[in-house]
Amino acid sequence: MSIVSLSSGEPTCTTEDVKAIAGANGFTITPGSVDETAFLLFANAFDATCEAIENLPEYEDPRLKPVIVDGERQCHRPDAVENPLNAWAHKTTLTIPSAKGPLAGRTIAVKDNVSVAGLPLGLGCSPGLLKDGKHPISPIDAIVVQRILAAGGTIKGTATCENLSMFAVSYTSHSGVVHNAWQPGYATGGSSSGCAALVSIGDVEEARQSGKDTRDYPLGEGVDLAVGGDQGGSIRLPAAYSGIYGLKPTHGLIPYTGIAALNPLIDHTGPMTRTVEDAALMLGVMAGYDGIDPRMTPESPMPDKVPDYARDLQAWIAGKEKAGEWTADGAAKGLRIGILKEAFDVIGLDPAVADVVKAAAERFRSLGADVNEISIPLHKHGAAIWTIAARPMMPHFVAGNPPDLLSHTMPHLQPNKIGQDYFDTLAHRNPAAVNILMNAAHLQLKYGPALARKAHMHVWELRDAYDKALEECDVLLTPCNNTVAPKHPASTAKTEDNPDGCSERIMDLFEPAIGNTLNTCSFNVTGHPAMSMPVGWGKVKEGDGRLPIGMQVVAKRWDEASILKVAKSWEVGGRWTDSR
């Protein structure tokens, strides 16, 4: 078919359009030339092709059709009385009464970037950043939502997340700050901030019932489990700040289909729970190839080949008990523990946090494990490799562009064109989201694509370095966060004079988050599974309170089982809440 025959109706492109299109690519076409005439014809033919697709109705894969639940899908935005921690985005109750799976009777919240049919998809951002100036109502259920409902779980709603999932602390959401359940006024970490707060409520309530915590302030309704998202630490960081377990699985183990992406290279979703057993249980429900997500590879197990992590963990413990080893001096016998030397040299690591994590790591010796310090010099460059490898693609997704590989995009979620409104909305709410755009442009203008290509080469080097270290040990241990949760900046409080809770001084927002991901983000690009587990307490910087400290446990790719064993064996020496 000829180019001319592809065009129908009156031409829609002009020579000015051709000039602009050429300019966007950095070249010019001589006005009035034969070349200009030819490319004007090409432009009109191409525009006719664009219109043909634009006129088609949107298509939703039937595999993502909403699951049939009990009753109508309804939700509401809870007020401050019902939602004192601001951890809920929207509340609902979705369940399949006939489902009798492993999550029966358990309540679950999902991060507000996960599609739940009938609920708004908020992304923690101002609706003004999205098409038509409002958050879309999702017409689909993400694969993880389907699997949770099929396993008998009850989804109680969506949890507040940081603005566009681009911040490591919990005061950038359009709805306002998310309070730490252990210390209101302090951060829960981000970007899965609401998830961490809602799950940790159970531990706070337990501490009150036992008399260990005599304070009385409103918490609101919590949940048993949550689905978080992690591109640089956004499951692990809030888990560490909040005293829960947060597992970023191997890249490609859990499908990301139906979840708003930042970059397929680093996108992960995973469980956030109060116990190791629940992390194992939820992982088994969520994991497995879905036939849609391009992040999954031939290494990803089919659903019927996913290990039964919970059963396998219990079988391992039972074997230990039979051998008389499930004791305070034998629970970790046979495990090889590596303490990652360079992880304690990162900028901004609070010595008090380092001491708690080192003490937690040393506990494994008394539990019978083989414990050694492991040096991986390239770990010091891990955050830089993550940044340069991942940054160029992130604005691509913020603008609503599809990935390079076929995936199920979310056409109902369409960001507005990035421009001055984007800057004005976010610069004093979440400057990191603006900085990512600035970084990507800086990278392109000064270095071109060569530097990002080089960073991708070093991702393979970094993966190899971790793989070699993990031949000597079963897991690597690192601090998770550099400090205990910081206090929310005073400038983020919503007042009559500042109804949006925006800070006039950008650095007030940035400073508490600097360095937070130095020990977490590298495992997003290499794809290794990593879990934050609570191991103790640290004093807050302002006031007399204390907040949880988390330790990161990293294993070989596809070896989540070792992480679960190591974390559970550590608890034989005493629960983290009992430490001082």
Residues 155 and 20 in one domain: no
Task: Please enumerate, as own/partner, the contacts of 18-22 that have beta carbons within 8 Å and a separation of 24 or more.
Answer: 18/43
In a domain, 521, yes or no: yes
| 3-state DSSP assignment of residue 340 | strand
Closest to 505 in 3D by CA, of 429, 576, 418, 454: 429
Q: How far apart are CA 230 and CA 280, in angstroms?
A: 18
Cite the active site residues.
111, 191, 234
Residues 46 and 117 in one domain: no
The strand pair at 370-374 and 336-340 is best described as parallel
Domain that holds residue 42: 3-54
Q: Is the dihedral of CA 173, 175, 179, 181 positive or negative?
A: negative
Q: How far apart are CA 443 and CA 456, in angstroms?
A: 14
Q: Is the dihedral of CA 433, 435, 438, 443 positive or negative?
A: negative
In a domain, 323, yes or no: yes
CB 210 within 8 A of CB 229: no
In a domain, 572, yes or no: yes
Question: In this predicted structure, what is the pLDDT of residue 448?
Answer: 94
Residue type, 481: N
Q: How far apart are CA 396 and CA 576, in angstroms?
A: 41
Please state whether 176 falls in left (phi above 0), alpha (psi between -120 and 50) or beta: left
Residues 49 and 170 in one domain: no
CB 559 within 8 A of CB 528: no
Residues 31 and 118 in one domain: no
Q: How far apart are CA 201 and CA 194, in angstroms?
A: 11
Residues 314 and 397 in one domain: yes
In a domain, 487, yes or no: yes
The last residue of one of the domains, among 54, 75, 96, is 54
Residues 15 and 121 in one domain: no
Residues 243 and 151 in one domain: yes
In a domain, 77, yes or no: no
In a domain, 70, yes or no: no
Closest to 113 in 3D by CA, of 148, 85, 138: 138
Question: In this predicted structure, what is the pLDDT of residue 9?
Answer: 61
CB 417 within 8 A of CB 400: no
Per-residue HEC secondary structure of 507-575 comes to: HHHHHHHCCCCCCCCHHHHHCCCEEEEEEEEEECCCCCCEEEEEEEEEECCCCHHHHHHHHHHHHCCCC
pLDDT digits (tens, 9 = 90+) for 34-77: 999 999 999 999 999 999 999 999 888 999 999 999 999 999 99
Residues 273 and 402 in one domain: yes
Question: In this predicted structure, what is the pLDDT of residue 547?
Answer: 97
Residue type, 56: L
In a domain, 67, yes or no: no
The strand pair at 370-374 and 475-479 is best described as unpaired
Residues 45 and 93 in one domain: no
Total structural domains in the chain?
2
Residues 320 and 194 in one domain: yes
Q: CATH number of the domain that 480 lies in?
A: 3.90.1300.10
Residue 24: count other Cβ atoms within 10 Å of its Cβ.
8
Q: Is the dihedral of CA 133, 398, 159, 484 positive or negative?
A: negative
Q: φ and ψ at 184, to 5 degrees?
A: -55, 145
Digit-by-digit pLDDT tens for the chain (580 residues) are 334 444 456 788 999 999 999 999 999 999 999 999 999 999 999 999 999 999 999 888 999 999 999 999 999 999 999 999 999 999 999 999 899 999 999 999 999 999 999 999 999 999 999 999 999 999 999 999 999 999 999 999 999 999 999 999 999 999 999 999 999 999 999 999 999 999 999 999 999 999 999 999 999 999 999 999 999 999 999 999 999 999 999 999 999 999 999 999 999 999 999 999 999 999 999 999 999 999 999 999 999 999 999 999 999 999 999 999 999 999 999 999 999 999 999 999 999 999 999 999 999 999 999 999 999 999 999 999 999 999 999 988 888 888 888 988 887 899 999 999 999 999 999 999 999 999 999 999 999 999 999 999 999 999 999 999 999 999 999 999 999 999 999 989 888 888 888 888 899 898 999 999 999 999 999 999 999 999 999 999 888 899 999 999 999 999 999 999 999 999 999 999 887 5
191: preceding bond cis by omega (within 30 degrees): yes
Q: How far apart are CA 134 and CA 535, in angstroms?
A: 41
Residues 110 and 33 in one domain: no
Interacting residues of 57 by C-beta distance below 8 A, sequence separation 6+: none
In a domain, 81, yes or no: no
Residues 414 and 502 in one domain: yes
